[in-house]
Amino acid sequence: MDDLFVADEIKELREKIAYHSDLYYQKAAPEISDYEFDQLVKRLQYLETKYPQYKIQESPTEKVGSDIDDESKIIPHKVRMYSLENAYTLEEIEDFYNKITKETKKMPYFTTELKLDGFSINLYYENGDLVYATTRGNGFEGEDVTQNVKTISGIPQKIDYPKPIEIRGEIFLPRSEFERINEEREKNGERIFANPRNAAAGTIKLKDPEIVKTRKLDYRVYSVGLFENNEIKSQYTLLKYFEKLGFKTLARDMKNLLKFGELNRIIEQCKFWELEKNNLEFDIDGLVIKVDDFELQKKLGYTSKFPKWAIAYKFKAEEVETQLLGVDFQVGRTGAVTPVARLEPVFISGSTVSNATLHNEDEIDRLDLKIGDYVTVIKSGEIIPKIIKVDKKKRPDKAEEINFPTNCPVCSSPLRKQEEGAVTYCSNANCPAQVQRRIEHFASRDAVDIEGLGEAVIKQLLENNMIEKIEDIYNIDFEKFANLERQGKKSAENLQKAIEKSKNQKFEKILFGLGIRYVGARTSKILTANFDNINALINASYLDFLMIDEIGEKIAQSLVDFFSDEKNLRMIENLKKIGLNMKSEKQEIKDKLSGSTFLVTGSLTNFSRNEIKNQIEQNGGRVVSSVSKKLEYLIVGENPGSKLSKAKKIDTIKIISEQEFLEMIK
């Protein structure tokens, strides 16, 4: 392959992986299946091994996907948390088995455990008390979710084990509870969760433990971090010990958790659970095979991302056949018209499905689809599943052609295709469907976060001609609003306050709210870290954008297009006049640290994690997420973590104490 193409592909893969990782770990709203995601990572891994000159330290092949979204709640793990190597074929399991037996020159025992499809959790006990609970985070440090975890019944608050111990497991929603919550959400007009995993991930980070309590989360534990105990020498005995301490383990649900050294029995287990998984009360996405003996585990060690002594056999998405009843056309915020298949409802991977996305007109052509056809559907991570094939032999005589509309189903303006062809857009920027979606996006939680300004209220405002574009929400006539149906003085007051508050949102959230194509929350954050204010973004060139890690051609072009559109510039000008924050945090600030990069390890005496971050940023510095060549200063507190040893290996990094940092900003 031509080198230039390799570099491009690598960059594109990194960009894609970062995008989907963010959707999965932080937003709990994935758009692609685990399988598709894992294949992207595997391809990148292959290219990086073959062309090591393009490898970077921050590569997603080297780190676990981070779930951290509130930096002020970070607690470092005492012992690192890892991800798991994954396999989708039984051959890969065989390879793993053979490699282990060859390397250890033994016939080691293995355990097989269900791979729970939930959210990993770290429970820290001291003197027998549950001190805190954190998420996996980036593997080195996690986010504090103690209050929420304490609402989960069955997690012991007190255990009979005095030494400090980190106990690890998975939090999940049983299927029945998932369905109950979704029914309730549907009744209240709230967005429903796509699957129990997304629901569990969305629940564990809620700000109100009272709500968490109403959702009956469950858990199982399966491993330890910090643990000083010479009696427990294997995974199997560890699970038994957990039970003795009062924890729920997977041994309860998997009666045949046993030790064995025969490959065929491992393979049998994989096949068995792939068929049996729907009979469990919770979702599993595979089976985890672990070397049982701790001594052997230690010998085998870890890569930068996973233990070499374990592997996950992951199940492929389930396929189900059903009939296509019709096709609806929906208009999104960019005007893109998406065909959505209406299906005869079928039960698939834990829930009933009646819609599937068809993406665009080309997809309909590619599938050669007609209404009335029998189609194969898979759930691939997203809210609406996908149609992957059509059984033409079963096509009914009366099957109807699908006619892609030539005019917008909402405003009747002519539809247009853009350059590359696949996607069809409504050409009317004032199309009510688009305006509605744009404002919904702007007000959403990850954008400027206006509580009370959801789908229904926006619709009401539009129908009463009180707004027609984003910036109009800052000029709402609240007296009039109070007199609208279902509204009142109180709701008007609350909305006014929420709207006022949104003006001071962080720039990254406001930027995200503008709805630039392909610019998600994460890309926004990257942009505001690299550009001081909105003017710098407006004036930046295609190449300026491309220079940034994780920004590829598609995003760069979209940014240039967005900022050269008169309408968008007018909107930005208006929002500025209204007083919305359009500056990066670092900008207002004294410049003592002028752009230097920092990272903290261990605990500090004068600052919490959030305070030191603010100090660094207010003085013009930048906090990075991990040790790499881009790091200039590592601030070392008490009980430093593995970042210190990592940093020592890179001689350009200056390792400083808290005192030295104070000197720098004095």
Could you tell me which stretch among 92-100, 112-120, 409-417, 474-482 binds ligand AMP (CB under 6 A)?
112-120
Q: Does 84 bind ligand AMP (CB under 6 A)?
A: yes
Q: Does 83 bind ligand AMP (CB under 6 A)?
A: yes
Q: How far is the CB of 25 from ligand AMP (least distance, A)?
A: 9
Per-residue mark of binding to Zn ion, 409-448 (x: CB under 5 A): -xx--------------x-x--x-----------------
Q: How far is the CB of 331 from Zn ion (least distance, A)?
A: 5
Integer Cα distance of 249 and 252 in angstroms: 6
Q: How far is the CB of 565 from ligand AMP (least distance, A)?
A: 40
**Residue 122 or residue 581: which is nearer to ligand AMP going by CB?**
122
Q: Map the footprint of Zn ion across residues 374-413, applying CB under 5 A.
A: 408, 410-411
**Residue 220 or residue 586: which is nearer to ligand AMP going by CB?**
220
Query: Residue 411 binds which one of Zn ion, ligand AMP, none, with CB within 5 to 8 A depending on kind?
Result: Zn ion
Q: How far is the CB of 202 from ligand AMP (least distance, A)?
A: 16
- Using CB under 6 A, which of 67, 170, 283, 292 touches ligand AMP? 170
Looking at the DSSP bridge assignments, the partners of residue 386 are 357, 378
Task: Dump strand ranges (E) for 110-255.
Answer: 110-116, 119-126, 129-135, 141-143, 165-172, 218-224
Integer Cα distance of 523 and 18 in angstroms: 9
The two tokens of residue 248 are 């729920």
Q: Map the footprint of ligand AMP across residues 306-325, applying CB under 6 A.
A: 312
**Residue 116 or residue 499: which is nearer to ligand AMP going by CB?**
116
**Residue 170 or residue 471: which is nearer to ligand AMP going by CB?**
170
- Using CB under 6 A, which of 288, 408, 448, 527 touches ligand AMP? 288
Nearest 5 degrees, angle CA 112-CA 116-CA 120?
A: 115
Q: Map the footprint of ligand AMP across residues 240-259, applying CB under 6 A.
A: 250
Q: How far is the CB of 463 from Zn ion (least distance, A)?
A: 16
Q: Does 222 bind ligand AMP (CB under 6 A)?
A: yes
Query: Residue 408 binds which one of ligand AMP, Zn ion, none, with CB within 5 to 8 A depending on kind?
Result: Zn ion
Q: Does 136 bind ligand AMP (CB under 6 A)?
A: yes
Integer Cα distance of 598 and 631 in angstroms: 6
The two tokens of residue 582 are 């359009």
Other C-beta atoms closer than 10 Å to the C-beta of 274 total 17
Single-letter amino acid code for the residue at 389: K
Could you tell me which stretch among 7-15, 40-48, 108-116, 424-432 binds ligand AMP (CB under 6 A)?
108-116
Single-letter amino acid code for the residue at 1: M
Query: Residue 116 binds which one of ligand AMP, Zn ion, none, with CB within 5 to 8 A depending on kind?
Result: ligand AMP
298 phi/psi in degrees, rounded to 5: -65, -40
Query: Residue 410 binds which one of Zn ion, ligand AMP, none, with CB within 5 to 8 A depending on kind?
Result: Zn ion
Integer Cα distance of 114 and 253 in angstroms: 9
Torsion of CA 538, 542, 545, 548, to 10 degrees: -160
Q: Are 117 and 197 in contact (CB under 8 A)?
A: yes
For residue 391, what are the CA distances in angstroms to 114, 366, 369, 395, 397? 34, 13, 10, 7, 13
Burial class (CB in 10 A: 0-12, 13-18, 19+), 114: buried
The 3-state DSSP composition of the chain as helix, strand, coil percent (nearest 5) reads 40, 20, 40
Query: Residue 431 binds which one of Zn ion, ligand AMP, none, with CB within 5 to 8 A depending on kind?
Result: Zn ion
**Residue 108 or residue 515: which is nearer to Zn ion going by CB?**
515
Could you tell me which stretch among 68-76, 113-121, 342-350, 625-633 binds ligand AMP (CB under 6 A)?
113-121
**Residue 224 or residue 327: which is nearer to Zn ion going by CB?**
327
Integer Cα distance of 391 and 378 in angstroms: 15
Other C-beta atoms closer than 10 Å to the C-beta of 210 total 9
The two tokens of residue 538 are 């407006």
Q: What residues are labeled active site?
A: 115
Residue nearest to ligand AMP (CB): 120
Selection from 522, 553, 526 nearest residue 537 by Cα: 526
The footprint of ligand AMP (CB under 6 A) covers 83-84, 86, 113, 115-116, 120, 136, 170, 222, 250, 288, 312
Q: Which residues make up the interface to Zn ion (CB under 5 A)?
A: 408, 410-411, 426, 428, 431
